[in-house]
Structure 1
Amino acid sequence: MRQYRYITFADRKQIAAWYQANERVADIAERLGMSTKTIYNELKRGEPTDETGAVILDRNQRRAYNPVLAQQRLQENFKRRGRVAAEAAGQ
């Protein structure tokens, strides 16, 4: 049975490093013990956009990922749902 957990900020920084190093999403998911769907959702959460709303690409011509932006969006979601981010993220 799989143990579910929230992605921590440390995980997000690690995802960013591996993604920037052109690692496959499946490999990142395996390293973190999560599903590929979870990692794809996380990458979507951390996508920066320009002023027109277009997604910014990284040096590998993939959608960029910003772990700080992902963390901010997560905390905003928790706040909107009435949860404390640190409590929910298990910190």
Structure 2
Amino acid sequence: MRYKYITYHDRQQISTRYLNDERVADIAAALGLTLATVYRELKRGETGALDHNQRMEYDPDIAQRRVQENLKRRGKTSK
């Protein structure tokens, strides 16, 4: 698979599918992502609470905020 950045829209889709109790493997296949990428994304957006499926709750807004903070902290790269 080819590497791609996850967009906010992708994060919303992950959230919706995850709440609908879809398997992580199915979410990854539907979005064209690797299984590891989806698991990292779910970890990035954890709220610390359990959802109605008794899995760690995922919030796409938290995940997006963390990505943006990491990009700011990284700063500009020299060419």
Do both proteins adopt the same fold according to a TM-score greater than 0.5, normalized to the shorter chain? yes
RMSD: 0.8
Q: Which runs of 5+ in 1 are unaligned?
A: 49-54, 84-91
Q: Name 2:42's counterpart in structure 1.
A: 43
CA deviations 1:21-46 (Å, max 9, x no partner) are 00000000000111110000000000
Give the Cα separation in 2 of the matches to 1:38 and 1:22.
Answer: 18
Q: Which runs of 5+ in 2 are unaligned?
A: none
Give the Cα separation in 2 of the matches to 1:75 and 1:39.
Answer: 18
Percentage identity across aligned positions? Answer: 57
Indicate the SS of the match to 1:64. strand
TM norm structure 2? 0.93
TM norm structure 1? 0.81
Q: Name 1:20's counterpart in structure 2.
A: 19
Give the Cα separation in 2 of the matches to 1:82 and 1:19.
Answer: 32
